[in-house]
Amino acid sequence: MDLLVLSLLVRWILGWLLCAKLPRLPAAELDPQAPSLSVLIPARNEETSLPHLLRALQQQTLKPLEVIVIDDHSSDGTAACARAAGVQVLQPPPLPPGWCGKTWALDHGSRRSGGELLVFLDADTEPGPQFLQRIVGVQQRLGGLVSVQPFHRTEKPYEQLSLLFNLVGLMAVPLGQQAGVAFGPAMATSRSDYERVGGHGAVANKVVEDWFLAHLYERASLPVSAYIGEGQIAYRMYPGGLRDLVVGFDKNFAIAAGEVRWPRMLAVLLWLSGLFWIAWALPASLLGWPLVGNPDPLFNLLIYAAYAMQLLLLSRQVGRFSWINLVFPLPVLFFLMVFLLAIFNLERGSVSWKGRQFPTR
């Protein structure tokens, strides 16, 4: 077999292996003596997204003791729409030095809440009717910290560009019971475990607080389990436009990449290298551009089709991506652009998000 073909085949197979275990949040029976539940929602300028979440919470099969929206000094109608929905609204004191807005909001909210169990939900999440029942049931069975990565619901064409970020983000980490990784949009824990590790105060200055909170649970010998949210919880990331999409992924990418364990990172990079190569090779072979490898357009078309099919099948588990899989050089270019921007922000030491500067080191 030609060395190039063998190399691409190995990389293509790695893609399947990396996504071989993407477990969904399982059903779990609740303890008959289920403890009281507080749902905590940090929100900064979320008047568009928040009503969807609050309506979804009213339809839950498991009714929480309380739903608390912590208004992180919004400049829009976030607090008003939360009050109109009949939930409790808190506003923390001004953000002190050494804290990020989300960690400060959740630390304040957790102190003011009364539930024995805590569920943290981002304001842009959209849980199905059984979501609270499932995540609480799993947390009661497994203990520690349980989190779910929501299914990415896309509406506008620019949102399709996030394909690789959604897929690579799940390829790069183990999932399931005791995975050791947490997803901030939807997390559940007992109050006793949360206080044992120091809560959000222990990760006060972390932009990707979920990753570092998971580390604290592991150090305390508490299990950390993670699942995908297909069929149970979704979100629409960055509906505010392409700029928000770029800055949002840059913010997370610049910090989270350093937390991935190197064997998985190597496997992901090998898979990406095959994807990047064929994204260039097919147009290069058709247009006579410089090309390392086989210049036969038919050969490159077959490789391209194999990767497009793989992306189409794998991405169905993580988000609503359609036509972008067939023209994947577009999200490849977008991914590389944000990657370079993330490196720049790592060197610069900060990134801007929602009117605030956050450290990247």
Tell me if 28 is assigned to some domain.
Answer: no
Q: Cα–Cα distance between 126 and 52 in angstroms, integer?
A: 6
At CA 142, angle to CA 137 and CA 146, rounded to 5?
75
If asked whether residues 202 and 269 sit together in one domain, one would say: no
> Would you place residue 246 in the very low, low, confident or very high pLDDT band (cuts 50, 70, 90)?
confident
pLDDT at 46: 95
pLDDT at 312: 97
Tell me if 122 is assigned to some domain.
Answer: yes
If asked whether residues 349 and 283 sit together in one domain, one would say: yes
If asked whether residues 288 and 154 sit together in one domain, one would say: no
- Mean pLDDT of the region 23-30: 93
- Please count the structural domains in the chain: 2
Tell me if 82 is assigned to some domain.
Answer: yes
If asked whether residues 128 and 171 sit together in one domain, one would say: yes
Q: Is the pTM of this model over 0.75?
A: yes
Look at residue 209 and tell me whether its pLDDT is greater than 70.
yes
pLDDT at 1: 59
Both tokens assigned to 285: 């072979």
- Mean pLDDT of the region 43-47: 95
Tell me if 352 is assigned to some domain.
Answer: yes
Look at residue 361 and tell me whether its pLDDT is greater than 90.
no
If asked whether residues 190 and 314 sit together in one domain, one would say: no
**Domain range for residue 353?**
3-18+259-359
Tell me if 24 is assigned to some domain.
Answer: no
Q: Cα–Cα distance between 149 and 188 in angstroms, integer?
A: 12
- Mean pLDDT of the region 180-199: 97
Look at residue 147 and tell me whether its pLDDT is greater than 70.
yes
Look at residue 37 and tell me whether its pLDDT is greater than 90.
yes
Look at residue 318 and tell me whether its pLDDT is greater than 80.
yes
Tell me if 216 is assigned to some domain.
Answer: yes
Report the percent of the chain where pLDDT is more than 70.
94
pLDDT at 32: 80
Residues 6+ apart with CB under 8 A from 119: 37, 38, 39, 40, 64, 132, 135, 136, 186, 187, 188
Dihedral over alpha carbons 266, 268, 273, 274 (to 10 degrees): 120
If asked whether residues 224 and 289 sit together in one domain, one would say: no
CATH number of the domain that residue 117 is part of:
3.90.550.10
8 Å CB contact between 248 and 197: no
Look at residue 182 and tell me whether its pLDDT is greater than 80.
yes
If asked whether residues 47 and 117 sit together in one domain, one would say: yes
Tell me if 151 is assigned to some domain.
Answer: yes
Look at residue 259 and tell me whether its pLDDT is greater than 70.
no
- Mean pLDDT of the region 199-207: 94
